[in-house]
Structure 1
Amino acid sequence: MHPHSDADRNPQLDEDDAYPEPPSKSSRKREMHALQDIGRQLVELSPERLRKVPMPEELYDAVRDAQRFTKHEARRRQLQYIGKLMRAIDPAPIQAQLDAFNGVSAAEVAKQHRLERLRSDFIEDEKVIAAIAEAFPGADLQYLRTLRRNALKEREQNKPPKAFREIFRVLRDLEEGAAGEADETADDDHDPEQA
């Protein structure tokens, strides 16, 4: 018996080894689920945050459609479609933006704590609405008052804190809207055409 392998005798086998095998079915499935998870995170974003995520228009439209679906099966199918669309793009910039939204940065964590304090203060004392109105002139104060009443009822009745969470979402959206306007104003101040 000859001590050399078949590869030593047949150079053709060495060439075949140079081509990687296609990904296995299970690895493709894991990748698909990871992309669907990113899609699910996109669907859960507020419209203001979603506009800040770098993505093709077709993907943006698909995410907005999924946000409008209320039936579980329709949303599930739309999430699969979003995952399919994401296979054709580089998900890294999207993931980086989601990481920023999810409080990966210290500034995001500080902002989240500040908004949570504001929400708690508002729940405990309705007069805090004046501070909210001053900080966010576009705030729907009537809606916030209604949410506060509902949050207090939920707490009394030991119900899930839907209104409590909604207050946070509204405050976060107001702050992001104000930050966006500040950015636009700063851009206008530095516009070379206006100089």
Structure 2
Amino acid sequence: MTEFPEEHEDQQDDEKSKSQVKREMHAYQELGRRLIGLKPAQLDKLELTDKLRAALEEAHRHTARGALKRHLSYVGKLVREQPDIESIQNLVDRLDSNSQAHAQYFHQLERWRDRLLTGKPGEQEAFLEAYPSADRQTVRQLVRQATREAAEEKPPAAARKLFKLIREAAENS
């Protein structure tokens, strides 16, 4: 996770050193680079300005190294102007499979799947309360199928479908 530098308390009158400004610029550009790598459906979940959305769409047209570098600088400038950079950073980290936030998110989904597969009705109710967009009947069917597959020692196809349903419910909430 890229940390966005905070202002040092010992600096007077909000003056930043040249290296501090440079570190911030690189952090914004790195976040911009990561935003460029996201799919349009993932970008739709973020509250971005229209200018930044247009710049992210345009980034794929720049193939020359120099042009892409200049465009990344522009995207970094636009990222800096975003009202809620922290929520953007959190979602990007959650979507990046190499980040710790993604691992935590993935483990949370796995815990929900494991809790549902215990077969206790209270767990299903807790899940449906946490994610009201999930279809109650589909959850019950997949839990029953997964339990049956486990008892018969078959491949866990229903458990995989259940995990996919949990992930979709979490993304829609």
Q: TM-score, normalization: structure 1?
A: 0.45
Q: TM-score, normalization: structure 2?
A: 0.50
Give the structure with higher Rg (CA): 1
